[in-house]
Amino acid sequence: VDGAIPRKGGEEILRASQEIRETLYPRGLPAGEAVLTTAGKLPARYVIHTVGPVWGRDEPAEELLASCYKKSIAIAAEHALGSVAFPAIPTGA
Active site residues: 2
Nearest to 61 by CA among 47, 51, 71: 51
DSSP state of 52: -
